[in-house]
Structure 1
Amino acid sequence: MPEIPLVPSHWRFPAHPASVRRARHAVTESLPTVLRPQLGDSLSLLTSELLTNAIRHGACGEDGSLVELVLWSADGHYWLAVSDPGTGTPVPARPGPDCENGRGLLLVESLATAWTVRPRPTRGTSVIAGLSFHQGG
């Protein structure tokens, strides 16, 4: 009989900066306790960067705009998808040394084992990033 996978964790948050802290907490708490020391900090940082970008650049600015997060485990990775209603394609910036912003996707690039941007089937964009993990045993 095949191994039945876990159901992905799924959240929707208002497209507001206050949602970033709530999302970090939700994502970290959904990890198995044994993997939190290995993945918790990196996954929390990925969540912060991707959700902040979604709120700043992908949310429509209209009241009630939501961003969506999905977290799942597959093939030795934890995958995080952050989706917003925007149509733009995020690309890493190359900010100068005096710039205070613009390094979020550079952090994602350095932390994630793999990441990509995908259009959503109906409306919006998803940024998906994966972190590899090693389960003891």
Structure 2
Amino acid sequence: MIKSAQTVNPIALTEPVIKRYFETLNHESFLETASLFASEGTLTPPFEKAIVGSEAIANYLQQEAREMTLFPLQEALETTETGHIQAEIKGKVTTPLFTVNIAWVFILNNQKEIISVEVKLLASLEELVKLKR
């Protein structure tokens, strides 16, 4: 974990829609973030069921993503057999209370809309226990 968000240097992301995802979330523009998803796009937060559709995603982000700052630090892209782009982004999320390592797995369709984002905690058990205190 890091002590200050100022020590984090985000990378330049390759895919414009993924770059926009991080920008809009960091500016708390949750409706705009949700608009980046395909009509039946899904957001799967850690330890929760998938949230489906832009309205539900916007509502979820409005409740859960306030005061979060996301820092993408590594990017790995590949094209799937169906021609979709899969991107795994590793980075950090800071809140007023904690900083945690995260991975985001994006699937983009041929129109460069987000089909899905799965958010995975990359924290050790020790780090998770500290978060509960």
Name the TM-score, length of structure 1 as normaliser: 0.30
Larger radius of gyration, structure 1 or 2?
A: 1
More helix by share: 1
